[in-house]
Amino acid sequence: MAATGLLLGLILVLGCFSEIGVALISFSSLQATLVVTASHPQRLLRAGEDKITVRWGLNQSLPAGTDSAYKTIKVQLCYAPISQVDRAWRKTEDHLSKDKTCQFKIVKRPYTTGNQTLEWTIERDVPTATYFVRAYALDANDHEVAYGQNTDAKKTTNLFEIQAISGRHVSLDIASVCFSVFSIVSLMGFFFVEKRKGRKAQQ
Ligand SMILES: *[C@@H]1O[C@H](CO)[C@@H](O)[C@H](O)[C@H]1NC(C)=O
Ligand SMILES: *[C@@H]1O[C@H](CO)[C@@H](O)[C@H](O)[C@H]1NC(C)=O
């Protein structure tokens, strides 16, 4: 009994420590050393169909060795401020463990010097919103140490809009319901006219 209590206490304490460890990384402490670009068709993009070509690499004007601690690159799709308004579940927090800006993984792969390119098909579960792309450089402990994004610090440039699949289905459903109602109504109208014609013919 006492042993179980002790074990539970230990787990709790460890849990708290790891929580603190994670919470310590703040976005504002990261250096913007990566140059990230995203190219795509210049129109409303469709989830599940359209592709975004993401390019990332170390800013070449930085001193050599800037990236010596970089082990992994994590590229994510992130909500632009306009799509975060009144949505606590997409809120930006400086503590990265609580930050909900970037919820969609594009890729995670080992860091290599030089530019990297990836063609990514927008996943089918991406909701309708305005987005940008951000890349994080992670160290050997999988902790964020630097970042780069395809937009400016205020997140106002190079944003793009994605339309969700469900949104398209909803409008399709509405269209098909309208069509069904329309065809039933016209069928009824047709019958009515035919009946009247028939009655008139009998008279
Ligand atoms: C690259 O770094 C230099 C020096 O810090 C900076 O002036 C420049 O704006 C950066 N370039 C990009 C594309 O971020
Ligand atoms: C990476 O791309 C940038 C432009 O996006 C270019 O200026 C730079 O020279 C490239 N670096 C390498 C190593 O190819």
With the most atoms of ligand 2 within 8 angstroms of its CB, the residue from 33, 53, 56, 60 to mutate is 60
Ligand nearest to the CA of 66: 1
Q: Which of 146, 142, 132, 121 is nearest to 57 (CA)?
A: 146
Atom 2, ligand 1: residue with shortest CA distance: 61
51-58 and 116-121 strand pairing: antiparallel
144-149 and 34-39 strand pairing: unpaired
For residue 116, pLDDT beyond 90:
yes
Atom 11, ligand 1: residue with shortest CA distance: 59
* Contact present, 121 and 49 (Cβ < 8 Å): yes
Q: Which amino acid type is present at position 37?
A: T
Whole-number Å distance between alpha carbons of 147 and 137: 6
Ligand 2 binding pocket, CB closer than 6 Å: 35, 57, 60, 114-115
> Could you read off the pLDDT of 133-167 as tens digits, one per residue?
999 999 999 999 999 999 999 999 999 999 998 76
Distances (CA, A) of 66 to 37, 55, 147: 20, 19, 12
Domain ranges, ordered by start, for the chain: 24-163
Distance 111 CA to ligand 2 centre (A): 15
Ligand 1 close to Cβ of residue 60 (< 6 A): no
> Could you read off the pLDDT of 52-109 as tens digits, one per residue?
999 999 999 999 999 999 999 999 999 999 999 999 999 999 999 999 999 999 999 9
Q: Which atom of ligand 1 is the closest one to the Cα of 59?
A: 1
* pLDDT confidence of residue 14: 52
72-79 and 129-138 strand pairing: antiparallel
30 three-state secondary structure: coil
Q: Which atom of ligand 2 is the closest one to the Cα of 115?
A: 1
Ligand 1 close to Cβ of residue 126 (< 6 A): no
CATH level 2 (architecture), domain 24-163: Sandwich (2.60)
Rg (CA), the chain: 27
Atom 13, ligand 1: residue with shortest CA distance: 35
- The terminus-to-terminus CA distance of the chain in angstroms comes to 98
Q: Which of 132, 120, 134, 127 is nearest to 49 (CA)?
A: 120
The answer to whether the Cα torsion of 46, 48, 49, 50 is positive or negative is positive
